[in-house]
């Protein structure tokens, strides 16, 4: 029998979508929605800590989001910097290890410095692995892994026939974490939008119409309850999976 703890996802990955529509519904500028979204991040982190989720990966800004109107991008960068200034100490106190995945070279030096400082400060924490995907794209992630492998082959440290799935897994983002067990997208869209393409291969997907700023513990509880009822087969038959759970053979 599976213990209740085994039914809690170890790693949750979330596309936090719907901030703009949340603001539009209130006839406010989009940036107000992003601000409200930042508040929802805090309650989501608290939920994970309270429920024994070990890793949380949040899609905050995609590679493609750089192409939004410059005032929105500028507003988001300000918000990002403000959150780094205000929230990191508290996250450290709570035992979260903070990391950033994505193309960091595109950020302004002051943001970059804050990101690095947050990572060093929290490097020894183990209660929650909190990864923020910022300027992140799944295709870009796979491309940089391919480039790294090509460089190793060119340098003679690796043979082409040694490139297998585990070699790629080791070079994409979040390589040291178990892949996400549960993917959540808020805001009603049914797509992955270039999030963790490699890492989501066998992740359970859960979608809700709730806009990200409205997400609370009750929303996340529904996602976890739904996840707890899923049977993850990884290509096996249901009977095989049941056999594994009881320690029997099939
Ligand atoms: C998600 O909310 C946050 C970012 C992409 C930065 P959106 O800004 O995409 O909100 P909608 O989808 O327009 O409502
Ligand atoms: C995905 O949301 C990126 C983030 C939530 C950071 P988007 O709003 O950018 O995705 P699309 O454009 O609806 O696919
Ligand atoms: Mg959106």
pLDDT of 250 > 50? The answer is no
- With a 6 Å cutoff on the Cβ, whether 59 touches ligand 2 is yes
Sorting pLDDT into bands at 50, 70 and 90, what band is 247?
low
* CATH superfamily, with its number, for domain 5-246: Decaprenyl diphosphate synthase-like (3.40.1180.10)
The neighbour count for residue 247, using CB atoms within 10 Å, is 6
Can you tell me the mean pLDDT for 116-134? 98
Can you tell me the mean pLDDT for 182-188? 99
Can you tell me the mean pLDDT for 160-164? 98
List, for residues 203-225, the tens digit of each pLDDT value: 999 999 999 999 999 999 999 99
| Tokens standing for residue 116 | 């690095």
212 is an annotated ligand-binding site residue: no
Residue 41 confidence (pLDDT): 98
pLDDT of 2 > 60? The answer is no
- Strand 182-185 to strand 11-15: parallel, antiparallel, or no bridges (unpaired)? parallel
Sorting pLDDT into bands at 50, 70 and 90, what band is 244?
confident
Tell me if 36 sits within 8 A of 66, measured CB to CB.
Answer: no
Alpha helices by DSSP H, the chain? 19-25, 30-51, 70-94, 109-122, 138-154, 165-169, 217-228, 238-246
The model's pTM: 0.95
The neighbour count for residue 29, using CB atoms within 10 Å, is 15
List, for residues 22-57, the tens digit of each pLDDT value: 999 999 999 999 999 999 999 999 999 999 999 999
Counting from 1 in the atom list of ligand 2, the atom nearest the Cα of 64 is: 9
- With a 6 Å cutoff on the Cβ, whether 60 touches ligand 2 is yes
Pocket test for ligand 1, best of 14, 15, 18 (most atoms within 8 A of CB): 18
244 is an annotated ligand-binding site residue: no
Burial per residue of 155-194, b for 16 or more beta-carbon CB atoms within 10 angstroms, e otherwise:
eeebeeeebeeeebeebbbbeebebbbbbbbbbeeeebeb
List, for residues 187-202, the tens digit of each pLDDT value: 999 999 999 999 999 9
163 is an annotated ligand-binding site residue: no
The neighbour count for residue 48, using CB atoms within 10 Å, is 23
Residue 6 confidence (pLDDT): 60
């Amino acid at each position: 029998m599976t213990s209740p703890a085994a039914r809690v996802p170890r790693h949750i990955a979330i596309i936090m979508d719907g901030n703009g529509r949340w603001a539009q519904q209130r006839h406010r500028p989009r940036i107000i929605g992003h601000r409200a979204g930042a508040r929802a991040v805090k309650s989501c982190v608290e939920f994970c800590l309270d429920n024994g989720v070990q890793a949380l990966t949040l899609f905050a800004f995609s590679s493609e989001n750089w192409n939004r109107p410059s005032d929105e991008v500028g507003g988001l960068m300000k918000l990002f910097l403000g959150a780094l200034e205000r929230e990191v100490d508290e996250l450290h106190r709570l035992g979260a290890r903070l990391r950033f995945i994505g193309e960091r070279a595109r950020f302004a030096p002051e943001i970059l410095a804050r990101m690095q400082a947050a990572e060093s400060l929290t490097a020894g924490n183990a209660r929650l692995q909190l990864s923020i995907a910022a300027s992140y794209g799944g295709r870009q992630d796979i491309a940089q892994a391919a480039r790294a492998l090509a460089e190793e082959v060119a340098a003679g440290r690796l043979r082409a026939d040694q490139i297998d799935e585990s070699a790629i897994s080791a070079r994409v983002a979040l390589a040291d974490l178990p892949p996400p067990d549960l993917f959540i997208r808020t805001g009603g869209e049914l797509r992955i939008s270039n999030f963790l393409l490699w890492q989501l291969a066998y992740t359970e997907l859960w979608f809700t119409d709730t806009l990200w700023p409205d997400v609370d513990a009750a929303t996340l509880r529904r996602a976890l309850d739904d996840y707890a009822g899923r049977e993850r087969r990884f290509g096996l038959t249901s009977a095989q999976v049941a056999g594994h759970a009881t320690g029997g053979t099939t």
